[in-house]
Amino acid sequence: MSRQTIIIIAVVFFLLVLGIVGIYYLQTNKTTTPGTSGSRFDFFPFGQGPNIFSSDTSSTQGSSTTEETSFSSVQKLRQLTSVPVAGFLPLKDSQEYQVLYMERATGHVYSVSVSSGEAKRISNTTIPKVQSALWLPGGSGAVLQYLDTDEESIVTFSGAIATGTTERELAGTFLPRNILSVTLSPGGTLAYVLENGEGGDVTTSQPNGAKKTLLFSSPLKEWLVSWPATSTIMLSSKPSGETPGFLYFINTTSKTLTSVLGNVPGLTAIANRSLSRVVFAESGYGGISLKNLNTKTKEIAALPLNTLPLEKCAWSTLSDTVLFCAVPAEIPEGTYPDLWYQGSVSFVDNLWKIELDSGNSTLLGILSDQSNTTIDVVDPSISPDDRYVFFKNKNDGTLWSLELGSE
């Protein structure tokens, strides 16, 4: 082969390689425009989010723009812990926002600054494998639950945090065994469902167990209690999409039982402080439907978004007709809330503000975009001025905060 032929072949090969590199460069660096490609926000406006499920029958929420749905560009999302927490309490003093929380693994109590993320241990009393913790007003103590060594019996402990400036002891008393559901009133009175043979008793007491009052006895024991108003307890059947659910108000003074909702499959619900509204989810195999009950007019209206209100919504501290909800970007077909409780389905949540009077809904945060992780919100709580929403990530139990606005 002549020298000239070799040179020609080499030149052709060089030009071919150069052309391939040029095409690759143009394809990987071409300009994107909103709605065609680019960030996940462009692909999924209004919290539609990526589809992490293989089912084609899942419902997508918030993907259409209407006059009733708007977007608020915010916010500051912060992971406050790297370990699972059993319960938490937002607090604000004259200087800054703090959150008290209890580590699930140890039962130790910490206070974390929302602005700096710096955590300080308050109590070093060790209680392993705490499953849940409810806080007394002001964070003076907590009611916590864990499984006994037999992994079956439920232990409930009510403890007060000793005063002082150094690490303090969490000391208190044990409440009756096998309390199935427990809650605290706005003033710190305890209410719980205690297994009673084949049924369950709804009882109130002081946090240390004193001054017990039996309010209601039922042949059923699968009840959940919450305490939305000063003298009213809300009692609801444990939800399943395969059984009808029932909801009652119990007046703690007269012990009167009032029926609020009945025969609602998969019923989960929350009531506002004035008891004028109950937001509830009706569910079954097809998915979840979120609705608003006006307890005065008895009218029920469908809400524009669907979620599990008991687990994923919290009322505004400034208005009892406004609530903040974590809403799944997509909900695959299935029986709810069963699949979610069992861990068979995990949601990718976005945070929304829902105004019941107007029916308007506003997207406050696309959590996966701001966190670079999948967040399945549980137990949201709002700061006293509606500036922050705090919540746990069901996937790993960690504590998070999202700033909604400035002071």
Pick the CATH number of 266-406 from 2.130.10.10, 3.30.360.10, 3.40.50.720, 1.20.1260.10: 2.130.10.10
Kindly report the number of other CB atoms within 10 A of residue 40's CB atom: 12
User: What tokens does 187 get?
Assistant: 């003033």
For every residue of 189-258, which 3-state class applies, written as one string? Answer: CEEEEEEECCEEEEEEECCCCCCCEEEEEECCCCEEEEEEECCEEEEEECCCCCCEEEEEEEECCCCCEE
Q: What stretches in the chain show pLDDT beneath 70? A: 1-60, 62-75, 165, 284-285, 406-407
Cα distance between residue 246 and residue 399, in whole Å = 31
Q: Which amino acid does the sequence have at 141?
A: G
> Helix, strand or coil for residue 325?
strand
Q: Left, alpha or beta for 23 (phi > 0: left; psi -120 to 50: alpha)?
A: alpha
**pLDDT score of 56:** 37
Q: Compute CA distances 215 → 56, 193, 225, 240, 246, whole Å.
A: 48, 10, 12, 25, 18
Taking the CA atoms of 340, 343, 344 and 345 in sequence, report the sign of the dihedral they define.
positive
Domain coordinates of the chain in residue numbers?
Answer: 76-149+157-172, 178-264, 266-406
**Nearest-5° angle of CA 368, CA 372, CA 377?**
40
Cα distance between residue 166 and residue 358, in whole Å = 49
**pLDDT score of 193:** 97
How confident is the model over 232-246, as pLDDT tens digits? 999 999 999 999 999
Cα distance between residue 274 and residue 295, in whole Å = 10
Contacts 24+ apart (CB under 8 A), 343-350: 345/53, 346/374, 346/376, 346/394, 346/395, 347/376, 347/377, 348/49, 348/50, 348/52, 348/374, 348/375, 348/376, 349/312, 349/375, 349/376, 349/377, 350/47, 350/49, 350/62, 350/326
**pLDDT score of 274:** 97
**pLDDT score of 372:** 83
**pLDDT score of 58:** 53
